[in-house]
Amino acid sequence: MSFDIAKNAKAVKIASRNIAQQTSEQKNHLLERMAELIETNEQAILAENAKDISAGRDKGLSDAMLDRLLLTPERIADIAKAIREIVALPDPIGNIANMALRPNGIQVGKMRIPLGVIAMIYEARPNVTAEAAALSIKSGNATILRGGSEAIYSNLAIAQCLHQALEQLGIDKNVVSIVPDTSREVIEQLITLRESIDLVIPRGGEGLIRYVTENSQIPVIQHFKGVCHLYVDKFADLTKALNILVNGKVQKPSACNAFETLLVHQNIADTFLPMVSQTLAQHQVKVHACDKSLHFFNGALLASAADYHAEYLAPEIAIRVVDGFEQAIDHINEFTSDHTEVIVSQDTSRCQRFIRNINSSVVMANASSRFSDGGQLGLGSEIGISTSKLHAYGPMGLQSLTTEKFIVIGDGQIRD
């Protein structure tokens, strides 16, 4: 397939001025229409999805991959529901913060505006197509969606609904552009188009994210991995600590906000680690333990530095006994992925010091790492998690797709 991504991106840039000027009412009306059209075109979308599933089987995709790709009437209803949840979110655009009068009488403030054009590069989930488009529209942005080849039929079917809604409401249909070309070359070119695109968000395997980060000429927001730490302090409530450990490690081990390493203060190791050992065994969690904790665990392996770097994404954990608070901090600073770290302690000043000293994107005291999620933190729908510090850090909501300009209102003032 031959597709002129540069020409396409220019058209999307022009369309971005159109969507940026729509009122909240107009944007919500458009999103509502999109949700309806996805519902009424359920059969057509399912038929296209069946082609992706069949091609995926032929290609030998794993069951997990095929499941992520699969659409059902229920899942299509969920997509429409997700769009309606975005309708219900407050519109960040146009808000003015901190309007202040300067000594010479000019008024200075900052107004929230869209970024412009956002490119998403993602893999096989067709629901991302609809949700990323909806979040972009709500925040006044145009978007270029380059999904994986596995979901191409599903994505184009969903795109048709989105485009129909745009056309019905007389809005430039390039506000949402689905790239029909799923070749690697199109990504290579896309990430150089800095005149047209304001932000690239890659979502997928570490290889893709690394490639985009190393080669993009456009700002990138990326999420490499989540090596989340739980530090159980000598002043911890051990029952709370155990609950938080199990919730963070076992509830959804494949999530990036699952715990991968447990650090235990030496003073409580003899009490706490037998509890941990029993509980992790019940949940069939594989253990890599340091030399001081190895003897508490049946069948555990000795932990290496590689284990402390590992994002297992599985029922598997690294455990280390630390000689104090400072060593816990040092361990986390050395192995952090800047995702989420948790302290369990009843001592308020140690909780404060932990929160102050660790600069990961989410730092918690006495709560499960599983709360490290846009919905749980109160952001509404989540567009991703950033583990790099520029622009957005941590779970990203609508506001992460916006920026602020300065506005100045004078009455003829000039500078001395």
Pick 165 or 364: Cβ nearer a second copy: 364
Residues 114-143 that bind a second copy (CB under 8 A): 114-116
d(CA 202, CA 215): 12
| DSSP-H helix ranges across 139-237 | 152-168, 184-190, 206-215
Binding mask 188-207 for a second copy (x = CB under 8 A): ------x---xx--------
Q: In angstroms, what is the minimal distance from the CB of 150 to a second copy?
A: 29
Binding mask 20-39 for a second copy (x = CB under 8 A): xx------------------
Interaction of residue 283 with a second copy, rule CB under 8 A? no
**CB within 8 Å of 80: residues ≥ 6 apart:** 35, 36, 38, 39
* SS3 of residue 335 by DSSP: helix
DSSP 25-92: HHHHHHHHHHHHHHHHTHHHHHHHHHHHHHHHHHHT--HHHHHHH---HHHHHHHHHHHHHHHHSPP-
* Closest listed residue to residue 296, CA positions, set 271, 267, 328: 271
Number of residues that bind a second copy (CB under 8 A): 71
Stretch that binds a second copy, among 31-39, 167-175, 316-324, 404-412 (CB under 8 A): 404-412
CB 220 within 8 A of CB 200: yes
268 CB neighbour count, 10 Å cutoff: 17
Among 395, 396, 397, 398, binds a second copy (CB under 8 A): 395
Q: In angstroms, what is the minimal distance from the CB of 192 to a second copy?
A: 8
Amino acid identity of residue 259, one-letter, is F
Residues 206-235 that bind a second copy (CB under 8 A): 213-214, 217, 219-220
Instruction: Return the bridge partners of 386, or none.
Output: 394
Interaction of residue 303 with a second copy, rule CB under 8 A? no
Among 113, 144, 178, 230, binds a second copy (CB under 8 A): 113
Stretch that binds a second copy, among 13-21, 45-53, 289-297, 313-321 (CB under 8 A): 13-21
Amino acid identity of residue 282, one-letter, is Q
Among 145, 303, 351, 383, binds a second copy (CB under 8 A): 351
d(CA 16, CA 277): 55
Interaction of residue 70 with a second copy, rule CB under 8 A? no
Pick 129 or 222: Cβ nearer a second copy: 222
Among 90, 274, 324, 410, binds a second copy (CB under 8 A): 410
**Six-digit token pair at 296?**
């508490």
Interaction of residue 7 with a second copy, rule CB under 8 A? no
Among 55, 106, 268, 313, binds a second copy (CB under 8 A): 106
Q: In angstroms, what is the minimal distance from the CB of 371 to a second copy?
A: 6
Pick 321 or 332: Cβ nearer a second copy: 332
Q: In angstroms, what is the minimal distance from the CB of 344 to a second copy?
A: 8
Interaction of residue 282 with a second copy, rule CB under 8 A? no
Instruction: Return the bridge partners of 114, or none.
Output: 402
DSSP 224-284: ----EEEEE-TT--HHHHHHHHHHHHHS-TTSTTSEEEEEEEHHHHHHHHHHHHHHHHHTT
CB 45 within 8 A of CB 157: yes
Stretch that binds a second copy, among 57-65, 106-114, 156-164, 293-301 (CB under 8 A): 106-114
